[in-house]
Structure 1
Amino acid sequence: MIKKDILHILGKEVALGESAQVSFNVAKLHTQNTIDVPVIIERSKKPGPIVLITAGIHGDEVNGVEIVRQIISKGINKPKRGTIICIPVINVFGFIHMDREFPDGRDLNRMFPGIRGGSLASRVAFKLVTEILPHADLVLDFHTGGADRFNAAQVRIIKGEKTLNELAKVFGAPFIFYSKNLKKSFRNTCHKLGIPILLFEGGKSFNIDNTVTNTGVNGVKRVLHHLEMLNRKFKVSNPKKSCIYIKDSKWVRAKYSGMFKATVSINSEVKKGDDIGNITDPYGSFNHFVKAPNDGYIFNINESPIIYQGDAIFHISTKFES
């Protein structure tokens, strides 16, 4: 979709060929200091699609922020045609405090599309949906695993969307995970508005992993190249391995509390009955081996050394194809 020559966004006019940084401001701190969320806009002189690249919906998901930071610092966000809008940290409140939620205790990714006069998180969601999202032809949204659960680099999409399937394959993450849109999530709101969105998951909270970061940055370059937006100075590499499509999956949960160690690495293909981890106690009197419940790929591992009975320790595919 070709947009008008002038982009009217957050009270600013940005013409073709211009760069701009505008502030996405919703509320002040209790000290009356303003908190500005920078929105970085790069427009080519040549019209074309508008791609919105976001991260930091959860304040503790630093790896996603690092991916968008690198896209900006390397100049990947300066398109050959069209427009790229980057918001590296949406939940800047949580990012400052290294907290997943907003100061009001709410999860921003369960507050969309938001309410103009609602809670702080709801107001931020509302402003994002009404003042930024309508400009986008495509959204690339970056997340990481929660707590100590390390996610393999993956793109999450819903089944049956031809455009998303094509773009996810172009992105080239090791896994394409078919998952339903959660109610009141950013992804679900984009879907309802008819805006394609690729949700990238990789790594874990409070952590920056080079492999995950490189996968995210390279994926963005491939998508921009596919859209004929990537600047000629950047090279595009093919993924080292073909994508695995995960059609269904299950969590393996701890049968016992204790000290936990995975004995397989992320992305591993395992067979039913394989040893994939063990749970012990501090006294050397107990050792339980965790077995793979089926053939599949391990695409999430709990890296906490201490776990409790019922904790999710592995996410394994149950239906998949390459």
Structure 2
Amino acid sequence: MARSHFFTGLAGLLLFTSLPLVTSTPTIAATVYTGDRLDGAAVIDKLDVSDLPAGQVTKLWFRVTDNAIGQGWYVPVVVVKGAKPGPKMLITAGIHGDELNGISVVQHLAQTLDPKTLSGTLVAVPGLNTPGLMHSTRGFTSDEIGTNGENLNRIMPGNADNGGPASRFAGRLWSNIFIGNADFAIDLHTQSRGGAYPGYVFAQTAEARQIADWLRPDVIGMDAGIEGTVENMLNPAGIPAVTYELGAPEKFDTPMIERALRGIRNVMIGKGMLAGKADLSDPAPFVGNVVTDLASPRGGWAEIKVKLGDDVKAGQAVAVIRNPFGEEIATVTAKTAGHVLSINIDPRTEPGDMVVRLIAWSDSGVCSQAGCPDTSHK
């Protein structure tokens, strides 16, 4: 994929001539430094972990694109490069600006890993969507009032040169941070505003399912995916990846964060990056491959009658809808049996809004226990 560059003319020449001369054949890819520093950390235009020092933690700012006033959108990157060789693990969070638990997970993981005992490299990005995080919105809200943002997790791998603002931002993340710096990946999310998930992992392939089993979430969804997501575009690119949903948005949930950290360390043990034995003390996950949304037929105040993780029967009432006077005007019932995967935590409900989401297993579902036939489209 073509890449955009911030430096041309004399500025680019000065940057080039300031680098050490190498007499041997130059490598095709290398970390590109802009020469700037932000909060004491170097700013980069491209990451290549192969040329970073082993046995150390390197903190960087990636200057993704320009914003509307000619300044930069910056994304933090932490590279923990082990003293011993091993795989490269990419962990990302905050591609939706209202989904915050993953940011704390990434921060704690990077702070607690010892590079001297690590085999391989952690590439951690605690906050992909800078404008979305600033505006506390799901989308890439790059305008001045924080509205009308595109979903960065539907337009990967983007177009770094010829797309709109969100597509260029996505394209630069994809080509200059993700590709070449990951042998496998975990993209951390939560449910979006107004809803809540348990610990829930989407898995597409056999390799992704292995990662999901090590993560030990509450639920594993064998899912063919949605084109344009980080996970669904990395898998066809030969980089096994999962999406891990961590509860509810707009807060740091300590138990959920700690559970995710246990699971990620299990993955690192399984991949040979850390010594030790996997911690499988959390309950075995429910595995499903069919998801059903139960929607409200009326607008009003939703009273949810089930909890995350409940098993419901066909015909069971899962929510009632009340009018402003508190009178019951509708009942939402389960069409089929299933496991409660998501619930609304905001009682304000529009007609047609999902109030409860169920997951179940079907032997005739698109995906088997081992994976899905199509890993880039749904």
Shift of 1:36: 2.2
Could you tell me which residue of structure 1 aligns to residue 17 of structure 2? none
Picking from 296, 301, 305, the partner of 2:347 is 305
Could you tell me which residue of structure 2 aligns to residue 55 of structure 1? 93
SS in 2 for 1:182: coil
Structure 1 stretch displaced more, 45-54 or 263-272: 263-272
**C-alpha separation in 1, matches of 2:345 and 2:320:** 12
Aligned partner letter, 1:8: A
Are the equivalent residues in 2 in contact too, given 1:113–1:129 (CA < 8 A)? yes
Matched, 1:188 2:232: yes
Are the equivalent residues in 1 in contact too, given 2:64–2:173 (CA < 8 A)? no
Structure 1 stretch displaced more, 77-86 or 167-176: 77-86
**C-alpha separation in 2, matches of 1:241 and 1:66:** 23
**C-alpha separation in 2, matches of 1:297 and 1:48:** 38
Could you tell me which residue of structure 2 aligns to residue 22 of structure 1? 60
CA deviations over 1:226-266 (Å, ceiling 9, x no partner): 1121266xx85314311111111210111222211112111
**C-alpha separation in 1, matches of 2:265 and 2:345:** 30
Matched, 1:125 2:173: no
Picking from 317, 334, 337, the partner of 1:295 is 337
Picking from 237, 243, 254, the partner of 1:210 is 254
Structure showing greater Rg: 2
Give the gaps of 5 or more residues in structure 2.
1-28, 32-45, 144-148, 364-368, 370-378
Picking from 154, 165, 169, the partner of 2:213 is 169
SS in 2 for 1:48: strand
Aligned partner letter, 1:128: L
Are the equivalent residues in 2 in contact too, given 1:254–1:312 (CA < 8 A)? yes
Using structure 2 for the length normalisation, give the TM-score: 0.76
Shift of 1:180: 2.1
SS in 1 for 2:65: coil
Matched, 1:136 2:194: no
CA deviations over 1:264-291 (Å, ceiling 9, x no partner): 1111112223332221122133354433
**C-alpha separation in 1, matches of 2:116 and 2:255:** 24
Change (3 A) 1:23 1:285: closer
Shift of 1:224: 0.7
Identity of aligned residues (%): 26
Could you tell me which residue of structure 2 aligns to residue 67 of structure 1? 105
**C-alpha separation in 2, matches of 1:56 and 1:174:** 21
Change (3 A) 1:108 1:78: farther
**C-alpha separation in 1, matches of 2:290 and 2:262:** 26
Give the gaps of 5 or more residues in structure 1.
1-6
**C-alpha separation in 1, matches of 2:285 and 2:344:** 23
Could you tell me which residue of structure 1 aligns to residue 193 of structure 2? 147
Are the equivalent residues in 1 in contact too, given 2:55–2:115 (CA < 8 A)? no
**C-alpha separation in 2, matches of 1:320 and 1:144:** 25
Picking from 312, 317, 321, the partner of 1:279 is 321
Change (3 A) 1:197 1:213: same
**C-alpha separation in 1, matches of 2:116 and 2:322:** 52
**C-alpha separation in 1, matches of 2:225 and 2:190:** 17
CA deviations over 1:63-100 (Å, ceiling 9, x no partner): 22122122223337876200001001011121112122
Could you tell me which residue of structure 1 aligns to residue 22 of structure 2? none
**C-alpha separation in 2, matches of 1:208 and 1:308:** 27
SS in 2 for 1:82: strand
Structure 1 stretch displaced more, 27-36 or 222-231: 27-36
Change (3 A) 1:261 1:142: same
SS in 2 for 1:129: helix
**C-alpha separation in 2, matches of 1:157 and 1:24:** 29
Change (3 A) 1:67 1:11: closer
Picking from 107, 116, 121, the partner of 1:83 is 121
**C-alpha separation in 2, matches of 1:15 and 1:126:** 27
Are the equivalent residues in 1 in contact too, given 2:56–2:116 (CA < 8 A)? no
Matched, 1:113 2:151: no
